[in-house]
Chains A and B, each alone.
Chain A
């Protein structure tokens, strides 16, 4: 089925800055509208100022262009519903860890504080070095157990 083929193709489109994780695993795909001779792919941007958005858009078009009927696919970024870090799938969370990035924490304290376990040794004995990281969606942490610096995907939630 065409829908399955498109999803399979989108599974091959990785985050340009975290190349183990696909845009599907990040929870960026919101809607797939398949018309008679048009395909509209609606994606949710993670962070609004993310410079990778244009690259993702082009990679999506390239990935689906070989599928019959999806040659003229269109990609649209929408922000409703807003992307939240809960949308990262279980597989996505595992692949983030493989890449050395702690998946977004599931719990945020009332004070706004949160913790991430070390993606290398799983220790919870970690400290926040910088809430802001090399990209808008990541923070920099340090593991006091295995002495590795690592990154964590920031929690983003509509409850904040």
Chain B
């Protein structure tokens, strides 16, 4: 069974489930793209500056696509959804909102490249697993968006996997820092797989595979990489700072929203 936009608009149960899932997908991409954009001019070398900003731009494009699908379902104006929703309404995983490191973009940015590589690689692989699942979503517009996103995601994943493998296999300080970053990311990784309090609703309509299926698939895909680099994967992933899908967030998110929404909020009616 496949549902088009009209079907979803007629079936409140289905519509609400699609909206919930789309907010999770949109908010994840939105905040990780913002964190990526904060690296502009600070990445390890100029080629990486070009690559990372391109990836962040694509990812923001994906968020925009999801916000548009939300708007089609009557959830509101896409710009408003992106810029004006308070932190407590956001559904992104907490892992993605965490700051890049101490300092700010303008003042003493001591950002952690190992954390950036691990977070982005693990996220890109989670996103790939979700996108593959979404290609078969019962909600047709989401399935079509997934096909489009997948083509761009291919390059993101390739990029982060290369960084990850090279830094880990470099040994000495690089490996130590990568292992520390992995520990930090694994402590929150479960937040990417969880679908929050409405998880059952999402799987009931076959909008996406279950949390467990997605997690298992991710572990299957990552295991050969971990093995080849002699790394250990923990048996369980954490969600130490809370569940972002349920609106729980850290102050990092609020600070990010204040910064990125500053221009928009100065005149929400302006046309850009």
Contacts and interface: CB of A to CB of B under 8 A. Distances in A.
A38 interface: no
A50 B158 CA distance: 20
Interface stretch (B7-15, B56-64, B83-91): B56-64
Nearest to B158: A112
B57 to A, nearest CB: 4
Contacts of A132: 47, 50-51, 54-55, 155, 159
A15 B63 CA distance: 24
B152 interface: yes
B226 interface: no
Classify the interface of chain A: helix, strand, loop or mixed: loop
Given A79-B144, A154-B155, A133 B50 contact: yes
Contact of B54 (A129, A133, A158, A160): A133
A131 B62 contact: no
B146 to A, nearest CB: 10
Given A47-B58, A48-B62, A80 B147 contact: yes
A39 to B, nearest CB: 22
Contacts of B58: 47-49, 136
Interface string A22-55: 0000000000000000000000000111110000
B151 to A, nearest CB: 5
Contacts of A47: 58, 61, 152
A157 interface: yes
Contact of A156 (B61, B152, B158): B152
Contacts of A82: 144, 147-148, 151
B32 to A, nearest CB: 13
Given A48-B58, A50-B61, A131 B151 contact: no
Contact of A48 (B47, B54, B65, B158): B65
B144 A80 contact: yes
- The bracket for how many chain B residues form the interface is 20 to 34
A48 B152 contact: yes
Contacts of B151: 82, 84, 156-158, 160
A133 B155 CA distance: 12
B149 interface: yes
Given A156-B151, A158-B151, A49 B62 contact: yes
Contacts of B60: 49
A134 B152 CA distance: 15
A124 interface: no
B75 interface: no
Given A50-B61, A80-B144, A134 B50 contact: yes
B159 A131 contact: yes
A129 B48 CA distance: 11
Contact of B59 (A49, A112, A158): A49
A154 B61 CA distance: 17
B147 A136 contact: no
Contacts of B155: 131-132, 154
Contacts of B145: 79
5 contacts: A130-B50, A131-B51, A132-B155, A158-B151, A160-B151
Given A79-B65, A158-B147, 11 more contacts: A48-B148, A49-B61, A49-B64, A79-B144, A79-B148, A131-B155, A132-B51, A132-B54, A136-B57, A140-B47, A154-B155
Interface of B: 47, 50-51, 54-55, 57-62, 64-65, 144-145, 147-152, 154-155, 158-159
